[in-house]
Structure 1
Amino acid sequence: MFEANEVLRVLALLRQAGCEVWIAGGWGVDALVGEVTREHRDLDLVHRVEQEPLLIGTLEAAGFGERPDAQPGRPVRFVMADPGGHELDLHPLLFGPDGSAVQHADTRGGTFSYPADAFVTGVIGGVRVPCLSVTQQIHFHQGYDPADRDRHDMARLREAFGVTTHF
């Protein structure tokens, strides 16, 4: 499991190295809500594609190694894990001059779009952290059959922000 103190440790490590990352997924929802609402098996991070060599080098120096078996794999995403079982699900973003970004969605040229206002801050363990917006979280939780954790996350956003989600 990925605990809040480990999230903060990874973020501090990457920030000190000069890497810009934003929390997505379940931890991103918890950051928006401002409290840990469930257990997390990994930490989803989006990052600047041009910083990827620095990001990988920094994580490798901290004991993380890439898991080549992660699907769908590059260029969409890749996974790194440490010997303690902490998994990072890493998503490279190509930023435009206006602050918006795109991410590969598949190997056929599809993309996910991130408007400039998708990059916000939340709170984990009393610490302000960079994360994806409520709107972006809802957007990414569409178009697939949700797991129980996805239903949980969307329920937390509905309760905290009075938004509508599709499940």
Structure 2
Amino acid sequence: MEQTGERLSTPMASNRYGPWAPTTRHEVFAALDGCAAPWWFAGGHALELFTGRTWRAHDDIDIGIRRIDAPAVLDHLRRRGWEPVVAAAGVLSPWDGGPLDAATHQNNVWCRRPGGPWQLDVIVGEGDDGRWVYRRDPAITRPWSEAVLERDGVRFLAPELQLLFKSKDVRGKDTVDVEQVAPLLDGGGLALLAAQLRGDHPWLAMLRGLAPACTADDVLVVLDVLARAGLRAWVDGGWAVDALLRQQTRTHADLDLAVERASFEPALDALDQHGFRIVRDDGRHNRVVADRVGRMVDLHAFDPTVVSIDDDGVARHGGDGLGYERGGFDGRGTIGGREVASISPATLVRYHTGYDVDDDDWHDVRLLCGRFDLPVPPDYDRFTSR
């Protein structure tokens, strides 16, 4: 096949490069029978295999493989009479027998019998022997036992990971898929999707509505994991407000925790050992993790070395200027009847400023300022003037 500089459209929409006539899962099994490298169903078929039912027709059939296994899988298909063609960066190029390059976006290989229609889209992904890696954010990894599921001898990409890929450029069929599948996801799957999607994403409200709330028992489970690892943590965010008030005053989607910078990676490791996987990477000072139950933890790191103290008494911790009030870690409160360390009231109020505050923020600030005799920041003038 000649290379073309014209932009490739999706396989199901494209006739310019030849028609698609998708094969069946049975035929895919026959084509890959005896292949030593692992592979699994992806795309809409993966979601069907997870749910055990069908709700729409499919224009193509996808399988997933690891990039390190691409030569073995494609060579196997070629020896079975298939023609593998790399679809990357706007061109179609016959596979040359070598490895596929992530840097040049060699992430898809279309396959057909010589002279026939396209029948199979091989999706090339990242990972090593231990873990699957999300191509768009390498901080998002999963053990293979969680990334690729198996039922009745059929392997398929975990549904939350498939929906994560579908969430980037949403088509009508993708929304149909998420409406069918999301209600069946566990809390961890919902947490991953909700953490990765931005505030204006059309799926976000539905996913948040399905996600479980973070309970006091959930908070204590997380604190126990860290305590057993010898790590100290301060409750932050909405749960810190309720800890200081010594009663739960509203529902919470997650748990915010602060740990010393030296404890950050050990805390992530301890949580990972208890099934908490990274669902969002917000930089060297912040990760969001969740377990399969849906317990979501927003973990923040701070450097206890005070670099400077400004005129307002704000201690600047670390070279990145993370700011805390003097005494910002002196808060004490209770959650579920247990005494916990928390961020101080004044620091929590200050952290509830500097952005477009909402009703939950006003709820927290109103209670904190009332209980601890703190001034209400001007950010809340529209609430106080009601």
Q: TM-score, normalised by structure 1?
A: 0.87
Q: Compare CA radii of gyration and give the structure with the larger one.
A: 2
1:53: how far off?
A: 2.3
Give 2:230's match in structure 1, choosing from 8, 11, 18: 18
User: Which structure exhibits the higher relative contact order, with contacts defined as CA atoms closer than 8 Å and separated by 6 or more residues?
Assistant: 1
Q: 1:139 to 1:103 in 2, by over 3 A?
A: farther
Give 2:290's match in structure 1, choosing from 63, 78, 81: 81
Q: Confirm whether residue 114 of structure 1 aligns to residue 329 of structure 2.
A: no
SS in 2 for 1:31: helix
Task: Measure the CA separation in 1 of the matches of 2:236 and 2:244.
Answer: 10
Structure 1 equivalent of residue 317 of structure 2: 102
Q: Deviations over 1:84-103 (max 9, x none)?
A: 111111111111179x6626
Give 1:124's match in structure 2, choosing from 306, 326, 335: 335
| Alignment-mate amino acid for residue 336 of structure 2 | G
The aligned length equals: 158
**What is the aligned-residue RMSD (CA, Å)?**
1.9
Q: Deviations over 1:47-82 (max 9, x none)?
A: 1111122111110111100113x5xx1124110011
Give 2:301's match in structure 1, choosing from 92, 110, 114: 92
Q: TM-score, normalised by structure 2?
A: 0.39
Q: Does structure 2 conserve the Cα–Cα contact (< 8 Å) formed by 1:93 and 1:101? A: no
SS in 2 for 1:38: coil
Is there any run of 5+ residues in structure 1 with no aligned partner, and where? none
Task: Measure the CA separation in 1 of the matches of 2:317 and 2:291.
Answer: 28
Is there any run of 5+ residues in structure 2 with no aligned partner, and where? 1-212, 308-314, 381-386
SS in 2 for 1:136: helix
Give 1:62's match in structure 2, choosing from 274, 293, 298: 274
Give 2:355's match in structure 1, choosing from 139, 144, 153: 144
Task: Measure the CA separation in 2 of the matches of 1:12 and 1:101.
Answer: 29
Task: Measure the CA separation in 2 of the matches of 1:103 and 1:32.
Answer: 26
1:115: how far off?
A: 4.2
Q: Deviations over 1:105-152 (max 9, x none)?
A: xxxx4x222245111211112211010000110111111110211111
